[in-house]
Amino acid sequence: MAVITSKQLWQERNRLAEEQRIAADSGDKDKALVIQGHIEQLDVTLEHVIDMEDALRNAPKPKPQNTSFAERIFGARDEFHGVEIGFKNSAEVGPRNDATVVTVGAPTEIELELPAKPESPFQTFADTLLEAPAVGSVSYKQRSTQTGSPDTWGGVTSGNSATKSRVLYSYKDAVANKETIAGYVPISKESLKDYDELMDVTNHDLLLDLDMKTNSKYWTGDSSTGIVGITNVTGIQTFETAMGGNYYEAIRKMRTLVMTNGLCIPTHVAVSPEIKEAIDLYKTATGLYQTLGTNIYWGMPVVEDPDCPGILVYDSFAARRRAIHGGVSVEIGYYNDQFIKNELSILAEWTKALQVRRPDGFCYAEKSDLDKAA
């Protein structure tokens, strides 16, 4: 899971504070006020992240493995003598030996060991969701609608009782169906004896391809027997107001819906690269870029995801990925006419599910709706 640390947020806050100081010293009051708004939004997120880091610091830490995923598939270098066509093995994708240690800073200095992942220009929606193991499709209770308003807590005086506050919800049976997802990359026949090439292809290209295919399923999957992507989950909130392309204002309105209707605190906003570009390049009447280059919109870290069809404002704790036991299976063989081309394919597959406990913790908007004239 990709992690935004308090240290990173503090660095961003310090950068904005310095820009605000420069603007104030030069007499640019408008810019100073805009920056102050960004700082106040950032402070809300910073407080939330620090709380999560405190919880993580106190949680038991898994013992890191000393080998990469590819090494667990093909074995150690000094024991490698090449592999044959038809090779097959499986292993868990867990902490790898190229993990990085990151210090997350003030006001709480702790060290987190973050597992490395295939290099990608994007953080994806899937990266922001927690993952838990499962043995198959997951049956669970999904929060549906609020059926009652909170009672008033009047306090307790001597000799008197008071009604406790509560909110009533209806719940329905739901199933997070498992689905096996595969990715593959071509390799030359000579690669079967090239340890370094197999390490590089497996640890990076292959896992990246698998990650991106899985992320796409989490967005738009529509299988009746497999993963139902978040945009197709019944019960999520939709924002269909015509905004004339004002995506930044739309995000703020969607944040309100998640908080008021879903009673969730939005942790992220996911946008397509095209929408993020439009937001970042928009200038106010004073000639300033409205986001000033920050990757925080309305107090929420931005997830720039190429698979995102529009905008999604959400509480990342309202859903989770489920990983079916068995890890990643890797096979080597021919695909289509590769036999006559002297090449092969290395294929990896795993089985995943998407469990959405609180659908109203997500608010989604289509770009086409937001582009309509207001």
Q: Tokens representing 137?
A: 């499709």
Q: Where are the domains of the chain?
A: 6-136+174-370
When mean pLDDT is compared over 50-54, 136-140, 250-254, 288-292, the highest value belongs to: 250-254
Q: pTM score > 0.85 for this model?
A: no
Helix (H, G, I), strand (E, B) or coil at 149: coil
Domain covering 6-136+174-370 assigned CATH 1.10.10 in the classification: no
Confidence of residue 286 (pLDDT cuts 50, 70, 90): confident
pLDDT at 307: 95
pLDDT at 8: 81
The answer to whether residue 179 scores a pLDDT higher than 80 is yes
Confidence of residue 63 (pLDDT cuts 50, 70, 90): low
Torsion angles phi and psi, residue 331, rounded to 5: -135, 155
pLDDT at 162: 56
Confidence of residue 372 (pLDDT cuts 50, 70, 90): very high
Contact 247, 302 (CB under 8 A): no
Residue partners of 8: CB distance under 8 A and separation at least 6: 104
d(C-alpha 59, C-alpha 79), whole Å: 37
In this prediction, residues 296-314 reach a mean pLDDT of 94
* Bridge pairing between strands 319-324 and 343-356: antiparallel
d(C-alpha 345, C-alpha 192), whole Å: 11
Confidence of residue 92 (pLDDT cuts 50, 70, 90): confident
* Chain segment 111-147, per-residue pLDDT in tens: 333 344 444 556 899 999 999 999 889 999 998 876 6
In this prediction, residues 20-35 reach a mean pLDDT of 88
Confidence of residue 161 (pLDDT cuts 50, 70, 90): low
